[in-house]
Amino acid sequence: MQGEAGEPELKRAIGTKLLFLFIIGDVLGTGIYALTGQVASEVGGAVWIPFLVAFAVAMLTACSYLELVTKYPKCAGAALYTHKAFGVHVLTFMVAFTVMCSGITSASTASRAFSSNSLKLFGVETPGALVVTVVALAFMLLVAAINLRGVGESVKANMVLTLIELSGLLIVIAVGAWALLGGQGDLSRAASIDLASDQAPFTAITAATALAFFALVGFEDSVNMAEETHDPIRTFPKVMFLALGTAGVLYLLVGVIAVAVVPLDALSEGDTPLLQVVSAGAPNFPIGIFALITMFAVANSALLNMLMASRLLYGMSQEGVLPRFLGRVLRGRRTPWTAVVFSTCLSLILISVVSAIAAADPGSKVVSNLGGTTSLLLLAVFSVVHIAVLVLRRDRVDHQHFKAPTVLPYIGAAICLYLVTPLTPREPIQYQIAGALLTLGLVLWFFTWLSRRRKGLDTRVDDPARLGG
C-alpha cells in the first residue's frame, strides 16, 4: 500500500495480544526492578501509597491519550496532538523533541545497564569503561537491526522479553509469599511511613510518587504504534486499561512483598532490590537466573523506546513538522528506515557522551539523574496532552472514538503541572539537564525554521489544512 509521496504505508502487524504485551513490557520495563528500593527510601514501608497514587495519575493520563489516539489513529503521539491542537511549529517541534529525548535517553541508559549486567553475568566483575561502552553500542546496533527487520519481528521479540519479565515478577511474588507464610519477614512494615529526613509526610509521598510515576509512564509509547495496530480505534481502550490495571496490581504486590521480606535499610541500598528479595526468601534459588531475567527486562525497555522514537520521527515527518527524509519507508519490510537510522545514531552519540562523563567523573550526578530528568520532561508533555484534549473537543471527526469524562483532563493537567514544579522535591540538576536538552531543541528548531522560511513555508503555524485530521 502506498502512502504520501509514493512511500509504502507502515505494516499493520500488532493485534490485541501483541499490543497488550507491548504496553505491559513498556510499563514494567526496568522500573519495577530498580525503583522499589528508591521509593522505600523516601516513605519507608508504605511503598504501596506512592505506587497507588502514581497509578491513579497514570490512569488519568491514559484516558486523555485514549481519546486522542482513537480520534487520530496515527503515529507521533503527543507531538501529533499538540500539532493538531495548537498548530504552533515551535511548540510541536519541542514536544516531539522532548518525547524523542525521553525515549532515546531511556534506551541509552538501558543499554549501559544491559552491558554492565551481561558482562557481570559472564564473570567480568569490574568491566572497564571502554568495554562497557563497546558492548552497549553493539547492543543498540542489534536493537536497530531488529527494528529495521520489521514491526512484526520487533513486537514478537518484545512478547518473548515481556513474558520473561513477568516470570521474574511472579518469582518475586511466589518467593516472597512463601517466605511470609514460613514466618520470615514482617508484613506490618508495609503499613509504616518511615521518613528519611524531617520532611512532612505529604512532601515525602509526593517525592516518592514522582519516582513511582516514572516506572508507570511507558504506556504512552504505545500510541506511536497506532498506524501499525489492527483496528486501533477499538483495540486501544480495552487493551490500555487492562494492561495498566495488570501492571498496577503487579507493582503493588511486588512493593508490599519486597518491604515485608527485606529490611528497609537493606532494600533501599543498591540497584537490585528484587534480587535481594529472592536471595532473602529463597537462599538456594539460582540467582544467576534472576540476574538474566533482569538483563532481559533492560533489553526490552531499550527495544520499545527505540521503536517509539523512530515512529515519532516518522509521524512528525508525515505531518511536515520534521524533514521529509525521516518519513521514508523500507519497501518490502515496510519499516521507517531513515527514522530508525537517525534515532539510532542519536542513541550511539548519547551513549558515548554519557560514557565519557562517567569515565571522567565516576560520581557524576548527570548520569544518575537521567531517569529523573526523563520523568520531569514527560510530565511536562503529559500536561500539554491533557490541555490538547480540551482544545480538540471542538474538532469533529467522522468516526466514533473514546471520550474521557471532561473533568479528568483538568485534574490530570493540574497534577502533572504540580509534579513538574520545584514544589516537589527534585534534585536541582534534573532541571539543569532538562534546560540543557530544551535549549538544544530550540537550537535545532531554529535551523528547521530557517529551512522552512527558505522553502516559503509558514514559519508561525503548521499547515492549517492538515489540522483537521
* Cell triple for 445: 528548531
SS3 (DSSP) at 205: helix
Per the structure, how many domains does the chain have? 1
In a domain, 462, yes or no: no
What is the residue range of 450's domain? 12-454
Q: Is 362 exposed, middle or buried (0-12, 13-18, 19+ CB in 10 A)?
A: exposed
Cβ neighbours of residue 299 closer than 8 Å, sequence gap 6 or more: 110, 114, 139, 143, 161
In a domain, 463, yes or no: no
Q: What is the pLDDT of residue 47?
A: 85
In the block, residue with C-alpha cell 506490618:
188
Q: What is the pLDDT of residue 429?
A: 80
Cβ neighbours of residue 192 closer than 8 Å, sequence gap 6 or more: 44, 45, 46
DSSP for residue 7? P
In a domain, 459, yes or no: no
Q: What is the pTM of this model?
A: 0.82
DSSP for residue 320? T
In a domain, 5, yes or no: no
Would you put residue 127 in left (φ > 0), alpha (ψ -120 to 50) or beta?
Answer: beta
CB 48 within 8 A of CB 256: yes
* Cell triple for 438: 530544551
In a domain, 461, yes or no: no
Q: What is the pLDDT of residue 271?
A: 59
* Cell triple for 467: 489540522
CB 244 within 8 A of CB 215: no
CB 13 within 8 A of CB 152: yes
- CATH code for the domain in which residue 56 is found: 1.20.1740.10
In a domain, 468, yes or no: no
CB 143 within 8 A of CB 327: no
In a domain, 60, yes or no: yes
* Distance from C-alpha of 223 to C-alpha of 227, rounded to nearest angstrom: 9
Q: What is the pLDDT along the chain (469 residues), one digit of tens a residue?
A: 444 555 566 677 788 888 898 888 888 766 676 677 778 877 878 888 888 888 898 899 999 999 999 999 887 788 889 989 998 888 988 898 888 888 887 787 778 778 877 887 777 766 777 888 898 899 999 989 988 887 777 778 878 888 888 898 899 899 999 999 888 888 888 887 766 556 677 777 887 887 777 777 777 778 878 888 888 899 999 999 999 999 889 888 988 898 888 887 777 665 567 878 888 888 888 877 877 887 888 888 888 888 888 888 887 787 777 777 888 888 777 788 899 999 899 889 888 887 787 677 666 666 556 667 777 888 899 999 999 999 999 998 889 999 999 999 999 999 999 988 887 777 788 888 888 888 988 888 887 778 767 766 554 544 433 433 3
Cβ neighbours of residue 158 closer than 8 Å, sequence gap 6 or more: 18, 21, 22, 25, 300, 303, 304
Q: Give, in degrees to the nearest 5, the angle at Cα 49 between 43 and 52.
A: 140
In a domain, 250, yes or no: yes
